[in-house]
Amino acid sequence: MINDLWYKNAVIYCLSVGTYMDANGDGVGDFQGLMRRLDYLHGLGITAIWLMPFQTSPQRDDGYDVSDYYNVDPRYGTLGDFVEFTHGAKQRGIRVIIDLVVNHTSNEHAWFKEARRDPHSKHRDWYVWSKQKPSHAQKGMVFPGVQKSTWSYDEQAHAWYFHRFYDFQPDLNTSHPEVQAEILKIMGFWIQLGVSGFRMDAVPFIIATKGPKVKKPEEQYDMLRSFREFLQWRQGDCIILAEANVLPETDMEYFGSDGDRMHMMFNFQVNQHLFYALAAADTRPLVKAMKATKPRPATAQWGLFLRNHDELDLGRLEEGQRQQVFAAFGSKPEMQLYERGIRRRLAPMLDGDRRRLELAYSLLFTLPGTPVIRYGDELGMGEDLSLPERNCARTPMQWSNEPHGGFTKNAKPAVPVISGGPYGFEHINAAIQRRNPNSLLNWTERIIRMRKEVPEVGWGDFTVIPTRNLAVLVMRYAWRNNWVLFVHNFDAKPHEISFSVGLHNEAERLLVNLLAEEHSYGDEHGKHRLVIEAYGYRWYRVGGLDYLLRRSEIDQGEEAP
């Protein structure tokens, strides 16, 4: 395969325009501000931006409640500013993917307003109604503890409407051909304005059957193929990255066995088990999750992440595992959310411990897939637990130690910048870290540069190498006659391990360390012995640095020549 599927080996940076940079001084971030920070992002080395919802919205769920799909929310700028932004990104070789939130609209969307008002209107059937209260109205809430039901009564419509999420987010009747056609139209619109793809929100719910009689929704997977086909016709390199927290059994349904559905999916399975491994220094469940999510079509890719804008959902862990993660990273009730997760940022979860942060990021950049990092994590930003629900981890970017972290000139930013304490903007900010060669920011920049020079991770096949040590993970990747090997120690104490690279050739006796002058030389049987410090990590190339001279034009799989 020609390796021009950009998403197979990208570094994606997720940000929200409203909290990145406020250029017009009204206290809310905007596209003008974001544009001024494109050089920062370019310097960091990321290759794509995932932009969170920015369309017109009453902002009751941080923009995941859209009231006009074909406009930019005036707080953030205009369509003109948006096109300037995608153009500016393109000039720097950065792709833009945007959120596509079409499972539901805002209840202030003109379609819903008309649907409520007039039972005979065109848009009535675009939503999901019931004359009586469905018996299962108190089931299936996505935000348990906050959201009370999935059906609400509408006085004006004299009927109940379905909402998988909050009551101000009425579900679209996504099985309706007109709704499906509108979804394609929305995608077509933004493609025309310069985007390279979509992070599709809530995919399992979009494709589920919906209605008052549907007690056990069924997924209509073929819908995914029609989205994909449309995209590929309109613009060949456009992708969909699906948000689908599903079990590995159904992964192939989402990717399509011929790679004809979603290009990418977030790997929630690996995410949750990774946090368990970090909490318990036990890599077994993580390895299991990696193996369970290994099968995928050659054109498909996993999106890997540590933390995102939502809570860290631990719902797929066993009860004992979940309790261990809570105990390690979010033991206080105010740190937990929706009876299943932790709402904190990564740095405070790891006690701001640089060794653990590097370990976590080293894993993110070497596990099989494309890394997705979240704005501010490159600085080790913290959270503000006084803000409700998930808002605690959505505070403004900390640029400098000037007022409000250099985010705005306004005296009252819409969302307060974190100030004071160990994570305050006064000392956690981009300006200070830029000047310090050892800062997390500069470390992140260097690790991104190295990750881009190790395409074996994105393109190759991985093998987990046994070490008889639960706390240490050794992974090998093979691609085009080259091999790389990564070692990670999850434990708070050092470990001595020994392992064979497993290639049975001469090359495997030399492991060249890519990050330090500390190479590993195997014995005559090819066995390597290594003492790895607490939370240590190693990136090795197998056999030497002549790898580019050895790289083959096509992939020959695992075998040595």
* In the complex, minimum distance from the CB of residue 201 to ligand NOJ, in angstroms, rounded to a whole number: 5
C-alpha dist (Å) from residue 488 to 6, 32, 414, 472, 517: 27, 41, 41, 6, 17
* In the complex, minimum distance from the CB of residue 272 to ligand NOJ, in angstroms, rounded to a whole number: 15
Task: Provide the annotated active-site residues.
Answer: 201, 243
Which is nearer to ligand NOJ, 100 or 503 (by Cβ)? Answer: 100
Cα–Cα dist 16/149, whole Å: 29
Which is nearer to ligand NOJ, 165 or 459 (by Cβ)? Answer: 165
Find the largest Cα–Cα distance for the chain. 81
* In the complex, minimum distance from the CB of residue 308 to ligand NOJ, in angstroms, rounded to a whole number: 7
C-alpha dist (Å) from residue 547 to 330, 485, 513, 539, 550: 43, 13, 13, 15, 5
* In the complex, minimum distance from the CB of residue 96 to ligand NOJ, in angstroms, rounded to a whole number: 18
**Residue with the shortest CB distance to ligand NOJ:** 64
Listed residue (389, 392, 415, 315) closest to 147, CA to CA: 389
Which is nearer to ligand NOJ, 294 or 309 (by Cβ)? Answer: 309
Which is nearer to ligand NOJ, 201 or 282 (by Cβ)? Answer: 201
The Cβ of residue 541 has, within 10 Å, a number of other Cβ atoms equal to 22
Q: In 399-438, which positions are buried (b, 16+ CB within 10 angstroms) versus exposed (e)?
A: bbbeebbbbbeeeebbbebbbeeebbbbebbbebbeeeee
Which is nearer to ligand NOJ, 305 or 425 (by Cβ)? Answer: 305
Would you list the DSSP string of 140-204?
--SSBTTB--SEEEETTTTEEEE-SS-TTSPBB-TTSHHHHHHHHHHHHHHHHTT--EEEETTHH
* In the complex, minimum distance from the CB of residue 346 to ligand NOJ, in angstroms, rounded to a whole number: 17
Which run of H or E residues covers position 423?
Answer: none
Q: 3-class secondary structure for 352-371?
A: CCHHHHHHHHHHHHHCCCEE
Look up residue 482 and give its two tokens: 């080259």
Which is nearer to ligand NOJ, 64 or 161 (by Cβ)? Answer: 64
Look up residue 1 and give its two tokens: 């395969």
Alpha helices in 45-129 (DSSP H): 79-91, 110-117
Q: How do 461-464 and 472-479 pair as beta strands?
A: antiparallel
* In the complex, minimum distance from the CB of residue 559 to ligand NOJ, in angstroms, rounded to a whole number: 42
Which is nearer to ligand NOJ, 296 or 394 (by Cβ)? Answer: 394
* In the complex, minimum distance from the CB of residue 141 to ligand NOJ, in angstroms, rounded to a whole number: 12
Which is nearer to ligand NOJ, 49 or 510 (by Cβ)? Answer: 49
| 471-479 long-range contacts, CB within 8 A, separation 24+ | 471/281, 471/282, 471/283, 471/495, 472/283, 472/497, 472/532, 473/277, 473/283, 473/286, 473/287, 473/363, 474/499, 475/366, 475/367, 476/501, 476/502, 476/542, 477/368, 478/557, 478/558, 479/455, 479/555
Interface with ligand NOJ by CB under 6 A: which residues? Answer: 61, 64, 101, 165, 201-202, 243, 309-310
Q: How do 239-242 and 197-200 pair as beta strands?
A: parallel
* In the complex, minimum distance from the CB of residue 7 to ligand NOJ, in angstroms, rounded to a whole number: 19
* In the complex, minimum distance from the CB of residue 140 to ligand NOJ, in angstroms, rounded to a whole number: 14
Which is nearer to ligand NOJ, 310 or 491 (by Cβ)? Answer: 310
The alpha carbon dihedral of 549, 553, 556, 561 has a sign of negative
